[in-house]
Amino acid sequence: MRTTRTSSSPADRIRSSRPKRHRAIVTALLTVGLILTAQSAAALTGQEIIERLDDQQTFETSIMEGRMIITDRFGDRVSTFIAHSEGADRFLVEFTSRDEEGQRVLRRDDTIYLYYPDARETIELRGSALRDDLLGSDISYEDMTGGRGLLEDYDATLLDEVEADGHNTYKVELQARTTDVAYPKQVYYVDTEDFVLRKAEQFARGGRLLKVTEILETRREGEYHYPAHIRVTDKTRGSSGTEMILENVQIDVSLPSGIFSLEELTW
Amino acid sequence: MKLAKIALRNVFRNRRRSFLSMLAVAVAAMAMTNMFALLEGMKEDLRQNTWNYESGEVRIRNADFDRYEHLNPVHYVVPDYRALTEQLAELPEVGAISPRINVPGMAFRGEEQISTRGIGVDFDLEAEFQDLEGLVARGRLPRPGTSEAVLGAGLARELNVGIGDAATFLTQTRTRSSNAFTVDIVGIADFPMGGLNSSTYILPIEAAGRYLRMGDASSEILLKSSRAGTEALEQAVHSLLGERGVEGMAVTDWTQVSAGYDYLQMADAVYNIVALFFFVLGCTVIINTTMMTIHERVHEIGTLSAMGMRGGELIRLFFTEAAYLGIAGSLLGTLVGVAIAVPLGAIGIDFGGAMETAGMDMSNVLHPVVNIRSTLGVFVFSAVVAMAASFLPATRAARLRPVDALRK
């Protein structure tokens, strides 16, 4: 009776064991990778969270059409607008509603220029004037037109992970490094999954709550995820708030040349 | 008659003392005459300023505007103001009428924001309402229908602009939106109040209406009465609004609007107390003089008593002497007071910026006004108080027994 040896040579054993070892190494690497990824996400600093938020919301260029609903004790009124932006420092809003038709607000770096069809010269706003309300709304010129990145003016500290309006969020405190800002302290609630802002609170130096910004709806556009329906309530005025709704947004589109120039503003 | 002669002789017996007594009364009377003239001037000034720049003698405004005035509710208006103005002008109680559109807002100079107040007026009607032409220090008044404006001298200085320049103002519209507009400066006005000078400009009502999207509405209609008086005017306006079925309007007389009016009412009472205080001071001099007189004339009193003059007659004697001094002193004081107040009324007293900080609608230059009633009041009051002051020492003198008096 012939017996068949099924034993293999050491080389064969080595050969046959290679795929298993590869799998083990890959599995180990993936596990380490996953652990590292998880650890790096958990270890995000306040600054990193705000950086990712800024990335989500700062477009190379954009054209947005929307409307603003201003509610106060005398009722509601609606203003429609079309806004153009380039990076974080250039922003142009033109109002298209009947009452404000032709009025434009241009932000270039740290200066805001207001153009009104009845005026023969533009109004230049700087410093504290940037904090004046826009069309009597709860939104200031500075709020509306954005401006340089948050981290240029604020130190960000991650306080906690909390639930805000049904979303898991990072609660990040922003303390101003300079007195030249509208809000000495802000608290941002940034979504832990997609780094979109869900809520923000703005405070005065003494800790008094000035404004609350609630994000009622967000929208995805390519790699961007941005707030599309916002309600800002100025707590110092006892108003019912101002809602801003973005209805048509085009991101990374080419803009007419010179659109952010002063010549174009008055043209 | 005899007593009057004796009293007159006694007054002239010690002229220096009598003169000092009379002077004390005169100084008090003069001070009070001037104080009341100044108060009267302040009242008149406040009235004129309130009528011309704030509320008219009677004001028609949307009742809800008054309610939310602190929120600057431009949208609460007087509708169809032109037709209403025409009908109001026909009322016999109406002397002058001024529909206005107020333009709250601000101007910018660099990073600085300057609060401004534009007043859109109908220049034809305004000419009857107040002397706007007289306020223009340089240049001219704007032409109706243009985008021209007259700026207060202080505002022009703040904005660093002059005649021929343009100024841009940011304001709020009737639709509660914002708007900015540019005006051509054709004149510089010298408003009587510093507060107005540094913030106010006047422009045609049509331009103001266009910039504020007012349509056919105005912010308010100010009225001055003919000779009918404030109350009759107010009633007539109420009746007309009722007949026309215009609802939601507030018709207010100026005393309810002017913050300074209440202050002056209070000042009136305070000044009366101050007047009394002055006279009490003056009276101490008279009492002192009369007592000294009595002390020096004890022998004489004894002699008079011995000759049969009774206590009552002695009181009347000293009383008459005090009356001579009091009447002469108050007459002198009042006349000197009037003599000072009248030219001051013509020239005016410049209080500079002091009136701006008082928070009242009062001019920097005040013109004292001599009011006949208050001046006569000061004269009579001074004389009476001086006479009354002599009563106590005169009574003491009358109580002296002739024997005791002659021994002293």
CA distance linking residue B344 with residue B36, whole number of Å: 13
- Does B121 score more than 90 pLDDT? yes
What per-residue confidence (pLDDT) applies to B272? 76
B99 vs A6, more confident: B99
Contacts A141 to B, Cβ<8 Å: none
- Closest residue in A to B108 (Cα) is A123
Answer whether A133 touches B (CB < 8 Å). no
- Is the pLDDT reported for residue A31 higher than 50? no
pLDDT above 90: percentage of residues in chain B: 43
Asked if A136 lies within 8 A of B177 by C-beta distance, the reply is: yes
Region A108-136: mean pLDDT is 84
Task: Using a CB–CB cutoff of 8 Å, tell me whether A99 touches chain B.
Answer: yes
Report the alpha-carbon distance of residue B27 to residue B4 in Å, rounded. 25
| pLDDT tens per residue, range B130-174 | 999 999 999 999 999 899 999 999 999 999 999 999 999 999 999
What is the mean pLDDT of the segment spanning A21-43? 48
Res. B286 pLDDT band, cuts 50 70 90: low
ipTM above 0.90, yes or no: no
Quick one: pLDDT at residue B207? 96
C-alpha B112/C-alpha B130 separation (Å) is 33
Cα dihedral sign for B239, B243, B245, B246?
A: negative
Is A121 in Cβ contact with B177 (below 8 Å)?
A: no
Q: How many C-beta neighbours within 10 Å does residue B192 have? A: 19
Residue bearing the bigger pLDDT, A86 or A20: A86
Taking all residues of chain B, what is their mean pLDDT, rounded to a whole number? 86
Binary contact (A114, B170; C-beta < 8 A):
yes
Contact A99 B175 (CB under 8 A): yes
Q: Rg of chain A's alpha carbons, rounded to an integer?
A: 26
Q: Beta partners for B223?
A: B58, B97
CB B164 within 8 A of CB B151: no
Task: Give the chain B residue nearest A111 (alpha carbons).
Answer: B111
Cross-chain CB nearest to B179 (options A72, A116, A125): A116
Identify which has the larger pLDDT, B47 or B248: B248
pLDDT interval class at A68 (50, 70, 90): very high
The CATH number fitting domain A46-253, selected from 2.50.20.10, 2.60.40.10, 3.30.750.24, 2.30.30.240? 2.50.20.10
The pLDDT value given to residue B14: 77
Pick the more confident residue, B356 or B303.
Answer: B303
> Is A73's Cβ below 8 Å from some Cβ in B?
yes
Please state the rounded mean pLDDT for residues A173-182. 87
Q: Which of A86, A121, A115 is nearest to A101 (CA)?
A: A115
Percentage of residues in chain A having pLDDT higher than 90: 40
Chain B residue with the nearest C-alpha to that of A127: B111
Q: How far apart are CA A24 and CA A16, in angstroms?
A: 14
* Chain B interface test: which of A72, A95, A103, A118 (most B C-beta within 10 Å): A118
B404 has pLDDT over 80: no
Cβ of residue A126 closer than 8 Å to a chain B Cβ: yes
Mean pLDDT of the region A36-42: 45
- What percent of chain A has pLDDT above 70? 82
Nearest Cα to A98, choosing from B120, B179, B74?
A: B179
User: Who has greater pLDDT, A2 or B332?
Assistant: B332
**pLDDT for A23 beyond 90:** no
Residue B8: per-residue pLDDT = 85
Task: State percent of chain B over pLDDT 70.
Answer: 94
DSSP B275-344: HHHHHHHHHHHHHHHHHHHHHHTHHHHHHHHHTT--HHHHHHHHHHHHHHHHHHHHHHHHHHHHHHHHHH
End-to-end CA distance of chain A: 105
pLDDT at residue A3, as a whole number: 36
| Shortest Cα–Cα distance, B261 to chain A (Å) | 32
- The pLDDT score that the predictor gives to residue B387 is 79
Span of A71-85, B266-280, B318-332 with lowest mean pLDDT? B266-280
pLDDT band at A5 (very low <50, low <70, confident <90, very high): very low
Q: Do B78 and B62 meet the contact criterion of CB atoms below 8 Å apart?
A: yes
Query: Could you give the 3-state DSSP secondary structure of residue A143?
Result: helix
Mean pLDDT of B93-117: 91
Burial bucket for residue B342 (CB in 10 Å: 0-12, 13-18, 19+): middle
- Phi, psi of A163, rounded to the nearest 5 degrees: -95, 130
Q: How far apart are CA B222 and CA B119, in angstroms?
A: 12
How large is the average pLDDT for residues A15-43?
48
Q: Taking residues A221-249, what's their average pLDDT?
A: 87
**How many angstroms separate the CA atoms of B328 and A75, rounded?**
72
pLDDT one-digit tens code per residue, B359-396 = 556 787 888 988 888 889 888 887 887 777 777 777 87
CA dist B122 and B126 (Å) reads: 6
pLDDT, tens digit, 9 for 90 and up, residues B187-206: 999 988 878 888 999 999 99
Q: What is the pLDDT of residues B222-276, one digit of tens each?
A: 999 998 889 999 999 999 999 988 889 999 998 887 777 777 777 778 777 877 7
Which residue ranges make up each domain of chain A? 46-253
Q: For tokens 């009324």, what's the residue?
A: B345
pLDDT given at position A10: 42
Helix axes B259-296, B15-49, angle to 10 degrees: 180
Predicted confidence at residue A24, as pLDDT, reads 53
Q: What is the pLDDT of residue B405?
A: 67
Residue A73 pLDDT class (50, 70, 90 cuts): confident
Structure tokens at B404: 């005791």
